Amino acid sequence: MAIHHQIKSQATATTHPGWSRIILLSVLGYEAAGAVLGGVLLIVAPDGRLMDMPTDIMHGFFSDFRIPGMILLGLGILNAFAFFSVLQKTPHDWIMAGLALGGFIIWFVVEIIILQELHWLHLMWGLPVMLGSIAAIPLMVRRNNTATVHKGLLFCGILSSVWYIAINVYVPMQDEAYSAASFTVSELSAIGAPTRILWVLLVLAYPLLFGAFGWGVLQVAAGKRTLRTVGWLILAYSVFNLFWPPMHMRGNEPGLTDTLHIIWAIITNIFMWLFMVLGAIASGKRFRVYTIISIFLHIVFGSLTFSEAPNIPTNGPTPMIGIWERINILIFMLWAIVFAVELLKRNTGINAEKMNAQTAKR
């Protein structure tokens, strides 16, 4: 009975959830239709008149929109093939979905670099691609249900933190006027900031990697409700973090996006504390103690950050806000790494026991 229950739990964990398949099909269909239509319009009218886009927005990279239109049409066709592949559940549907969505990620990155600006259309077409990329992960797991895939997904928890820390070191170096000690991380992507485009492009990898980690947590939960809840919360956190309303540069009158930015920060912290607490409950005593200390320090340095934040709109003194905030971020990033390592150890031990059991039967 125990073996039957274990097999049933594993089968349930590796099934591609119906809702994620619907999201993936919706994204592929949506992107395919938009890309095919847009590509055709750009090819028919290379001067961009049918889409109300002057050629000078490309800053000389292309003389007209003919080549970009052909590339966009090709991406649309690729997404259409991926749509039907996922719909028909072919053996290589996960590869097709990965190629289609990966192609669009490259397209948007190159497009933003060429245009040298972010437009609301990037949200309209880009955010679904990010959401579809996360929804495609369980499809890959279902087609490649191996311990290696689970380990790779869990390792994404480590990689996501390392990536975020790395870009937090690299991007500030690209603006001489930026002070990591007295400026917040959000000011790297503030409206009008010289590092805005670079930060937005690089930080997009974080929710994708952390979302992959969330799927990994679901795969190794093995019927444990608390751990499965952690996985779903990480996924929700990752989807929520695909977009952050930007703040204005310091010294400017706060607007709607500044208010939304604060709301996003509050909700993000609630997500963090929730899956940190539940992750601790699902783990051993030592990790619980470590989590309690981490949450306490996270709140302390978050409060120190918040105490200086009101001076940002007035361009008042914020001598330590960057340090407080970065310590606050580092506490969470280290917790995510330790949690991923804990799950990797646990998963390795479970796989070893299964192999020993199989060997004993032989």
**Spatial distance between the Cα atoms of 7 and 3, rounded to a whole number of angstroms:** 6
Structure tokens at 98: 């990965």
pLDDT tens for each residue of 265-279: 999 999 999 999 999
- Could you tell me if 304 and 320 are in contact, meaning their C-beta atoms sit under 8 angstroms apart? yes
| Per-position DSSP letters for 275-322, written without gaps between them | HHHHHHHTS-HHHHHHHHHHHHHHHHHHHHHHHHGGGTTTT---TTHH
pLDDT tens for each residue of 294-353: 999 999 999 999 999 999 999 999 999 999 999 999 999 999 999 999 999 987 755 545
Calculate the alpha carbon distances from 121 to 112, 201, 269 in Å.
11, 15, 28
Torsion angles phi and psi, residue 2, rounded to 5: -65, -40
> What pLDDT does 185 receive?
96
pLDDT tens for each residue of 4-29: 444 344 444 444 458 888 999 999 99
**Model confidence at 281, in pLDDT bands (50, 70, 90)?**
very high
**Spatial distance between the Cα atoms of 267 and 149, rounded to a whole number of angstroms:** 31
> What pLDDT does 138 receive?
78
CA 57 to chain CA mean position, Å: 28
Give exposure, 311-329, as e/b (b: 16+ Cβ within 10 Å). ebbeeeebeebbebbbbbb
| Per-position DSSP letters for 182-229, written without gaps between them | TS-GGGGGSBT-TTHHHHHHHHTHHHHHHHHHHHHHHHH-TT-HHHHH
**Spatial distance between the Cα atoms of 272 and 262, rounded to a whole number of angstroms:** 15
Mean pLDDT value of segment 141-147: 70
Torsion angles phi and psi, residue 340, rounded to 5: -60, -40
- Could you tell me if 9 and 220 are in contact, meaning their C-beta atoms sit under 8 angstroms apart? no
Calculate the alpha carbon distances from 164 to 69, 119, 259 in Å.
34, 24, 24
- Could you tell me if 150 and 354 are in contact, meaning their C-beta atoms sit under 8 angstroms apart? no
